[in-house]
Amino acid sequence: MSTNVKRAFKYRFYPTDAQVAELSRTFGCVRKVYNMALAARTEAWARQERVNYNQTSALLTQWKKTEELAYLNEVSSVPLQQALRHLQAAFTNFFGKRAKYPRFKSRKSSRKSAEYTTSAFRFRDGKLTLAKMTEPLDIVWSRPLPESAKPSTVTVSQDPAGRWFVSLLVEDPLVQPLPGNENAVGIDVGLGHLLTLSTGEKIANPRHERRDRRRLALAQRRLAKKARGDGANRAKARRRVAKIHARITDRRCDHLHKLTTRLVRENQTLVIEDLTVRNMVKNRGLARAISDAAWTKFRSMLEYKAQWYGREVIAVDRFFPSSKLCSHCRTLAGKLPLNVRTWTCDCGMVHDRDVNAAKNLLAAGLAVSVWGAGVRPQRETSRMGQSAMKQKPLRREP
């Protein structure tokens, strides 16, 4: 028996001038309220006091009564309250040691968005009208919503490229667990190939960023030449750079969505490696290529889709020596430089480095699943008794 999954459906829309003005004003007020509430909670934190959501909500009521902040009454109150709830969630994650201390939102670098609950929008006959607006949004329905879907929240956002999006959170009855099977696959990520599967299949790395690198570099040089005071021209140049970044991101996400959906549909158990990408991108020579591969996004998509469809994702400890361990006789090889792509074990087995790593990940993941010892098996030690770290096949990008 399964329950319906709440799923966000994101669409692009084209606002009128009046809607642009209203939404821009709302974005500014949301950012202002969030920053003031964060400042109030930070000051209380310095006094060793805690301020919760209810207290910041009372502060918001007082702020609206002042002459200086009376403009907060001009926008819908729901996005402002939602901003306070988001701040409360940020502090909950901070106190739970799941995130860093919340940061103030910048006018230039922060994401422009506002969240509306059911009391602040009307959705009828396929038309969405937000509070404080007289006309519905001109939405491009690129895919249909589930039948009889009733959005519980609506999030409106604008990306740095100037595109407007609306995200509707609804219950999707079509997301149901898939029929079980006995297929299991080990997945080794890399740069030469994006993925190498334990079946021997290698999936090419599209290198989306490198395809547009010249266009991006040209646009960035033109932006750098614009004077700081040249507002209109500098904003136009910044938008050109953002459009190229958006194009790269869209292609990357589309490829990862198709890839992860295929893997989840075909396999019951998927074994990956628990990499710390945030540390790996500190390598200046490889940071661009690692970021373009988007290993973190790949894992995130794989995990939530596996949860949707009743699959299992197992993460093996990053120190497991999957590349140097013979998948046939389980002998740990000695020094294995990164430029060695194939190697021969003492048992006579010739290994492709990446395929061997994927096979070892699969074996370790299945062992963990059987033992029930969590998702991180203990580090395997080399013959000298020292911890053997896996050497990732990372190559410097041209």
Q: What is the rounded CA–CA span in Å between residue 285 and residue 289?
A: 8
- Six-digit token string for 94: 């901070």
Catalytic residue (choose from 22, 209, 354, 380): 354
What distance lies between CA 173 and its chain's CA centroid? 24
Is 354 designated active site? yes
10 Å Cβ neighbour count for 216? 18
- The answer to whether residues 261 and 309 touch, using CB atoms and an 8 Å cutoff, is no
Other beta carbons within 10 Å of 22 = 19
d(CA 311, CA 264): 7
* Cα dihedral 283, 375, 267, 149 sign: negative
Residue 172 a catalytic site member: no
How far apart (Å, rounded) are the C-alpha atoms in residues 5 and 224?
46
For 239-362, strand residue ranges (E) read 269-273, 312-316, 342-344, 350-352
CA-to-CA distance for 141 and 170, rounded, in angstroms?
A: 15
Query: Which of the following is catalytic: 209, 273, 317, 380?
Result: 273
Tell me which amino acid residue 86 is: H
Distance in angstroms (rounded) separating the CA atoms of residues 181 and 204: 26
236 C-beta neighbours (distance < 10 Å), count:
13
Is 292 marked active-site? no
CA–CA dist 363, 182 (Å, integer): 14
Q: Is the Cα dihedral 42, 47, 49, 51 positive or negative?
A: negative
How far CA 330 is from CA of 98, 333, 340, 349, 351, in Å, comes to 37, 9, 19, 11, 12
Choose, from 115, 188, 209, 380, the residue flagged as catalytic. 188
Residues labelled catalytic: 188, 273, 354
